[in-house]
Structure formats: structure tokens, C-alpha cells
Amino acid sequence: MRRPLPYQRFLTGTLFLSTTALALAATSPLQERADRFLALANAGYKGLYKVSAEAQWAAVTDVKPEHDAAAATAGKAAAAFNGNPSLINEAKELLSRRSELNGITVRQLDKLLRNAAEGPMTNPELVAARVEAETRQASTLNGFEFKLDGQAISVNEIDNKLDTSTDLEERRRVWEASKESGSR
């Protein structure tokens, strides 16, 4: 039997200590509290994310007022959940003792706070106005008919021409056509 090399013993010992530390952290009351909190927050986030993504997809692929309204409503619901002051306060409280939590938990709590920063419900009117403005902007862009030399051109065709054309004049006209949606 070969004797382990010093670095192998170090790695084995480090792995054992890391595993032991994680096992101990998982059993602490604070880690259990964080796990329960994140299970609830993640379940709510996933459900709202799915609804919001489906509403946004419908609004992008079939630009109609009812799809825009659904996307705005889903966006407001997601912001109301993600930016809920109770979620923010609990995450901050747990992170105030971050050294007692495992690394994955800390990263999830940090991500929860970053999500909350996009729509903090400490100012719900401002968040609702932002969601409405973003929905209007997306609708304008998604419903815009680009034209090149008087002919309709799709976004994919614009991208393809910009990627492949070696005619600088054509590329300039295509690029200018791609910027027309913001001129109205």
C-alpha cells in the first residue's frame, strides 16, 4: 500500500473539515431557520417567475394590449413579492450572522436582497410606475415594424445583415433602420 503524499493528506483533511463544518451548520437553529425561510421564498419566487415569464413571452410574441396588461400585472406581482419588506428584513437579519450560515445559504440570501432591490415595496407607487413604463417600452419595441429602403425587415434579418454584409453603406442603412423604434 502506498503512503499518501502530503498534499493528499491535506486535501483529505480539508475535505473532512469542510464536510464536518457543513454538517454542523446544517443542524444549527439559525441554519434551519434560514433553510425554512429560503424554502418559502424560493417557492414563491419560482411560481411568480414562471407566470411573469409566460406573460412576457406572450407580450413579446403577440403584441396586444391584453398581453401587455398581463405582463404588467405579473411584473407588479413579482415585484410585490420580491420587494416585500418582511422578506428583506428577514434576509438582512439572517445575514447579520452570516458566519453561522453555510456559503450557499449566504449566496441565496444575497441574491434575494438583489432581487428585492429591483422592486422594493417601500415605495410601491414608484415600482408600479417602473413596471408600467418598462411594459410600454417593450411593447413599443416588440410591435415596431422595422423598414429598410421602404421594405419591412425583421430583427433577425437586421442582425444577419449586420453580421455578414461587407458593404459599408448597406450596413449603415441597416444600422439606422435598427434605431428607428426609438424615434417615435
Distant-in-sequence, close-in-space partners of 62: CB < 8 Å, separation ≥ 6: none
Distances (CA, A) of 83 to 69, 109, 116, 121, 160: 21, 13, 4, 5, 40
- Spacing of C-alpha 177 from chain mean position: 30
Residue 150: inside a domain: yes
Query: Does one domain contain both 100 and 115?
Result: yes
Residue 96: inside a domain: yes
Residue 43: inside a domain: yes
Distances (CA, A) of 69 to 111, 138, 173: 28, 12, 34
Greatest mean pLDDT among 23-32, 91-100, 113-122:
91-100
Query: Does one domain contain both 167 and 126?
Result: no
pLDDT of 81 above 70: yes
Query: Does one domain contain both 107 and 152?
Result: no
> 51-64, pLDDT tens digit by residue?
999 999 999 999 99
Q: Rounded CA gap, 73 and 103, in Å?
A: 34
Mean pLDDT value across the chain: 87
Percent of the chain with pLDDT over 70: 84
Query: Does one domain contain both 87 and 148?
Result: no
Query: Does one domain contain both 92 and 156?
Result: no
Domains held by the chain: number: 2
Query: Does one domain contain both 153 and 109?
Result: no
Residue 3: inside a domain: no
pTM over 0.85: no
Q: Rounded CA gap, 180 and 147, in Å?
A: 9
pLDDT of 142 above 90: no
Nearest Cα residue to 153 out of 139, 170, 135, 136: 170
Residue span of the structural domain in which 51 resides: 25-143
> 7-48, pLDDT tens digit by residue?
555 555 544 445 555 555 447 999 999 999 999 999 999 999
Residue 14: inside a domain: no
Sign of dihedral through CA atoms 70, 71, 74, 80?
negative
pLDDT of 112 above 80: yes
